[in-house]
Amino acid sequence: MIKAVFWDFGGVITTSPFDSFNIYEEKRNLPKDLIRTINSTNPDNNAWAKLERSEIDQEEFDSLFEVESRQFGHSVPGKQVLTLLKGQIRPEMVKAIREIKDKLIQGCLTNNIQSTEDQELEKDNTATAISGTNQEIMGLFDFVFESSKENVRKPDPKFYQLACERGKVNPNEVIFLDDLGVNLKPAKALGMKTIKVVKAEDALRDLQDLLDFPII
């Protein structure tokens, strides 16, 4: 029996910042997907991971990311990457969240970072600003589970276990949507039903198939 839907933010509720990464790389004659490659190298202990667990601040991230980029033959300041993180809201996803509200428990499970201005930036090997209009969207969830506050991040299985505890559900009662397979794999292993988001309309059809009330 499905009791909850857990949503990733960047790349699910918003478009993926990967496109912004690629535009940045093209303008600076950098290899395509360089930033993603840096981010996926040593993923548990690299600059991104440390920032998302609030183990370092943005100043430290700036220099550490640049050091990591030099290992790939290029110099990319971390602060420049942080400016690329905001995606565009997908209204069809927000509509579905509204349709589900008060029918099932909903959580936003986000790998994020805390900025020096206390603005939150959500990232799943990407990041998206949660501010302004996005704060209204956050209000639709029963809870928001953040790596920067919990000091644990996807894809660590503990992240999902703690989120389930927060939502007072068992993993086998949860549907989880994320745009990254690496984040879906441990959730599925715990018993969650998982949906990989590439195109919003396809993901929503998959979600509709698992629900017994209309959302689209």
For the chain, what is the domain count?
2
pTM over 0.85: no
User: Is 24 inside a domain boundary?
Assistant: yes
152 to each of 32, 44, 53, 135, 210, how far by Cα in Å?
Answer: 29, 10, 6, 22, 29
Report how far residue 174's alpha carbon sits from residue 69's, in angstroms, rounded to the nearest whole number.
37
Kindly state whether residues 54 and 96 are assigned to the same domain: no
Residue 181: closest CA among 163, 191, 196: 196
* Burial degree of 181 (CB within 10 A; 0-12, 13-18, 19+): exposed
pLDDT, tens digit, 9 for 90 and up, residues 39-83: 999 999 999 999 999 999 999 999 999 999 999 999 999 999 998
Report the helix count and the strand count for the chain, using DSSP H and E: 11, 8
Which amino acid, residue 134? N
**CATH of residue 193:** 3.40.50.1000
